[in-house]
Amino acid sequence: MRVVGGSCKGRNLASFKGVSIRPTSDKVREAVFNILPRDFPFERVLDLFAGTGALGIEALSRGASHAVFNECDGAALSVIKKNLEACGLLDKSRVCRRQAAAALGEFGRAGERFDLIFIDPPYGKGLVEEALRSIDRLGLLAPEGMIVAETSRQAPLTEVFKTIEVIDERKYGDTLVYFLELKEGSDG
């Protein structure tokens, strides 16, 4: 795995052995970032199921000013910190060890909003919909912000949310990538 664009382009990222963590492939990550606006207007980023931290690191490499990496697995946290250090991005980062629902609740109570939110949990557990419901209810997406959510093709998004909506959907092998933003007239 490597950073595919921005100031850290080409840097190798540590990963995992085994199947407990499924990092977003370089190909899918590059495709996602090619769909996002070229001027990269996203300042505050949340990588909710951070795994290796590759999505949040890619955002920082491309110009985000701060990223929060949330992960509940202790081994993954070590990999995230190692990757942030290797890319010189520790000073632009905050690493949290929480279950996603607990982390989102804390961000909501603190009044935090994010310009870009990545949701890439383990497949087949309903975690994408659960996270999107919380983000919707807590108003965690900033105006003009975007959510990028990954699921498997066997579990497409079907839920309708109060303040956020799907604006694009892409297929990459077994992966579905959804792009969501605030509905017109919503301010999160």
Q: Is residue 19 part of a domain?
A: no
CATH number at residue 90: 3.40.50.150
Residue with the bigger pLDDT between 26 and 136: it is: 136
Residue-number span of the structural domain to which 107 is assigned: 6-13+28-182
Q: Is residue 45 part of a domain?
A: yes
Q: Does 59 score more than 50 pLDDT? A: yes
- Tell me, what's the pLDDT at 123? 85
Rounded-to-integer distance, Cα 150 and Cα 160, Å: 16
Could you tell me the pTM of the whole model? 0.94
Label residues 87-121 b or e (16+ Cβ within 10 Å = b): bebeebbebbeeebeebbeebbeeebbbbbbbbbb
The residues facing 94 across adjacent strands are 68
The dihedral built from the CA positions of residue 179, 129, 30 and 170, taken in this order, carries a sign that is negative
- Tell me, what's the pLDDT at 19? 47
Q: Is residue 187 part of a domain?
A: no
The residue type at 17: K
Q: Is residue 1 part of a domain?
A: no
Q: Is residue 173 part of a domain?
A: yes
Q: Is residue 18 part of a domain?
A: no
For 142-169, write each residue's pLDDT tens digit: 999 999 999 999 999 988 999 999 999 9
Rounded-to-integer distance, Cα 169 and Cα 167, Å: 7
Q: Does 69 score more than 80 pLDDT? A: yes
Mean pLDDT (the chain) is 92
Taking CA atoms, 122 is separated from 24, 65, 73, 85, in Å, by: 11, 27, 12, 25
Q: Is residue 23 part of a domain?
A: no
Q: Is residue 75 part of a domain?
A: yes
- Tell me, what's the pLDDT at 146? 97
Residue with the bigger pLDDT between 174 and 18: it is: 174
For 76-114, write each residue's pLDDT tens digit: 999 999 999 999 999 999 999 999 999 999 999 999 999
The total domain count for the chain is 1
Q: Does 132 score more than 70 pLDDT? A: yes
The dihedral built from the CA positions of residue 32, 54, 178 and 6, taken in this order, carries a sign that is negative
- Tell me, what's the pLDDT at 147? 98
